[in-house]
């Protein structure tokens, strides 16, 4: 059985080991340009580049897991 790169990219959730291609922070967004080209972004850098990316590459496939950023509330969130 052959697993294509595309299949791996489609089904593979972002992991802690996936790093932003711009700054090396944990990646929360994957932008796939085709069969074997993708870019990883942290939330900060995807926010910065999203308007240009979506304008110039409207057909890219985006895995957006930014909702996982700060998923656990900090302990101080409940402090008075």
- Binding mask of the shown chain, residues 12 to 41, with x at each position contacting Zn ion by CB under 5 A: --------x-xx-x----------------
Q: How far is CA 2 from CA 6, 7, 11, 38, 62, in A?
A: 11, 10, 15, 20, 24
Question: Given the complex with Zn ion, which of 25 and 60 has the nearer CB atom?
Answer: 25
Question: Given the complex with Zn ion, which of 5 and 33 has the nearer CB atom?
Answer: 33
Going by C-alpha positions, the residue among 28, 44, 38 that lies closest to residue 61 is 38
Point out which residues bind Zn ion (CB under 5 A).
20, 22-23, 25, 42, 45
């Amino acid at each position: 059985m052959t697993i294509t790169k595309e299949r791996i990219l489609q089904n593979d959730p972002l992991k802690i080991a996936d790093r932003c291609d711009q700054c090396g922070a944990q990646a929360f967004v994957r932008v796939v340009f085709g069969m074997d080209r993708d870019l990883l972004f942290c939330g900060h850098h995807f926010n910065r580049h999203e308007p240009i990316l979506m304008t110039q590459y409207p057909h890219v496939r985006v895995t957006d897991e930014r909702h996982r950023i700060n998923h656990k509330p900090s302990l101080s969130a409940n402090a008075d």
